[in-house]
């Protein structure tokens, strides 16, 4: 079994900017050292060259006989697969035997053996089948090596064995390289999958955290988000000596609306408030539904006067006019934290809540919106 690298796509194996010899760190010195370890010196090379003419003259017969035996092995026949592949194998084997008995064993020769090993690995030839075919090829060649000359064949047979073991070790190294490359590729793909999974988990966690801070009906921030954000914004305002205004808003006669027109109408009114708050808020403002019909807005870097400007923007959407009979009106209270002074969040919330209840007292038993002037805390 043998096949040239041109017959297979080696994409994805190793570093495309390096030769196989470079990937295996086989330098000229290392190649010579390997030949020394396998006892494949100039004496053995000369012994093989002495057989070259005889082998060359009988190449077709040698190759045909070898592949006749190989094709009788079911596992190998399945891998070869078709007539065209067998023809290419015959051609490649002729080239290999010609090179083998030239006895050069130089860098080009070694690189060819490495590439052959990589090709066999890529097409799925198991090492056991390749090694078996090498042993079979050596057995096929031995009678021809003996007949090449009428001198003692022992040195020639020894040289043949050493050369084929040398070739086999190069092929097996590329098998190992292929396995190592597949392991690295698997590790890389596994790491990519783990990274992508981590990103998915991070995004899902972020979404869940965001959902836990959102009111399901109005999609404004909820009670939990309000208290987290208020403490953060108040700390920043104190640190940077900036004003901060808290707006509390409550719907008047909301229970009556639910009792008269049903909860669906009540939900629609709450969503309308949320829409108006979003339209009135600047990019830096934060709006929340605290529960029921209670809403609030954190106005960063904003004093009471600017807080009333926010209410003016809110009025454009909601309308500062007497509502129709049975309609819903709002009561609004404000509280400002004095810049640069430490104020507890609970105190600012209490002041804004009290301001809203003063506004609600004004709106009670009337059909108008209630707005309180607000309180400065600190």
200-218 burial string, b = 16+ CB within 10 Å, else e?
Answer: eeeeeeeeeeeeebbbeeb
126-133's contacts with Cβ under 8 Å and 24+ in sequence apart are 126/75, 127/172, 127/175, 129/1, 129/73, 129/75, 129/76, 129/79, 130/1, 130/171, 130/175, 131/168, 133/1, 133/70, 133/76
| Pairwise CA distance, residues 129 & 125, whole Å | 7
| Known active-site residue 229 | no
pLDDT of residue 1: 53
The secondary structure element, H or E, covering residue 238 is: helix 223-239
Whether pTM > 0.75 for this model: the answer is no
pLDDT of residue 217: 93
pLDDT of residue 315: 84
Query: At a CB cut-off of 8 Å and minimum separation 6, what does 30 contact?
Result: none
Residue 336 — φ and ψ, nearest 5°?
-110, 135
Residue 126 — φ and ψ, nearest 5°?
-65, 145
Average pLDDT over residues 24-43: 87
When pLDDT is cut at 50, 70 and 90, the band that residue 212 belongs to is confident
pLDDT of residue 8: 40
pLDDT of residue 63: 92
278-288 burial string, b = 16+ CB within 10 Å, else e?
Answer: eebbeeebbbb
Of 64, 55, 50, which Cα lies nearest the Cα of 142?
A: 55
Q: Does residue 3 carry a pLDDT above 90?
A: no
Q: What is the pLDDT of residues 75-122, one digit of tens each?
A: 888 888 788 888 888 888 898 899 999 998 988 888 888 888 777 777
| Pairwise CA distance, residues 358 & 363, whole Å | 9
- Active-site option among 293, 347, 353, 372: 293
Structure tokens at 115: 């590439």
Q: Does residue 230 carry a pLDDT above 90?
A: yes
CATH numbers and ranges of domains, the chain = 5-191 (1.10.490.10), 223-377 (3.30.70.270)
Q: Which residues, in sequence order, are bridge partners of residue 376?
A: 336
């Amino acid at each position: 079994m043998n096949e040239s690298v041109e017959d297979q796509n080696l994409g994805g194996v190793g570093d495309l900017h390096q030769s196989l010899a470079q990937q295996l760190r086989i330098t000229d010195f290392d190649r010579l050292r390997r030949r020394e370890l396998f006892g494949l010196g100039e004496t053995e090379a000369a012994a093989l060259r002495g057989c070259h003419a005889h082998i060359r003259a009988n190449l077709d017969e040698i190759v045909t006989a070898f592949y006749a035996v190989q094709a009788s092995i079911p596992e190998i026949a399945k891998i070869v697969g078709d007539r065209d592949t067998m023809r290419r194998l015959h051609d490649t084997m002729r080239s290999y035997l010609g090179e083998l008995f030239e006895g050069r064993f130089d860098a080009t020769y070694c690189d060819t053996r490495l590439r052959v090993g990589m090709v066999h690995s890529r097409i799925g030839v198991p090492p056991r089948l390749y090694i078996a075919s090498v042993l079979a090829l050596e057995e096929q060649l031995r009678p021809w090596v003996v007949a090449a000359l009428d001198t003692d064949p022992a040195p020639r047979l020894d040289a043949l064995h050493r050369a084929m073991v040398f070739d086999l070790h190069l092929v097996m190294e590329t098998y190992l390289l292929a396995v190592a490359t597949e392991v690295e590729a698997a590790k890389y793909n596994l790491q990519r999958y783990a990274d992508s999974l981590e990103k998915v988990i991070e995004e899902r966690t972020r979404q869940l955290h965001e959902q836990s801070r959102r009111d399901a009906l109005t999609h404004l921030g909820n009670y939990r988000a309000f208290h987290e954000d208020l403490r953060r914004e108040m700390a920043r305002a104190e640190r940077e000596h900036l004003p901060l205004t808290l707006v509390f808003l409550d719907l008047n006669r909301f229970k009556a609306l639910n009792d008269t027109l049903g909860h669906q109408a009540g939900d629609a009114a709450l969503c309308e408030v949320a829409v108006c708050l979003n339209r009135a808020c600047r990019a830096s403002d934060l709006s929340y539904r605290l529960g029921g019909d209670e809403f609030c807005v954190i106005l960063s870097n904003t004093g009471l006067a600017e807080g009333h400007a926010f209410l003016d923007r809110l009025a454009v959407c909601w309308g500062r006019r007497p509502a129709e009979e049975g309609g819903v009106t709002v009561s609004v209270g404000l509280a400002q934290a004095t810049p640069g002074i430490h104020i507890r969040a609970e105190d600012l919330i209490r002041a804004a809540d009290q301001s809203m209840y003063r506004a609600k007292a004004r709106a009670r038993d009337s059909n108008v919106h209630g707005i309180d002037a607000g309180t400065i805390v600190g």
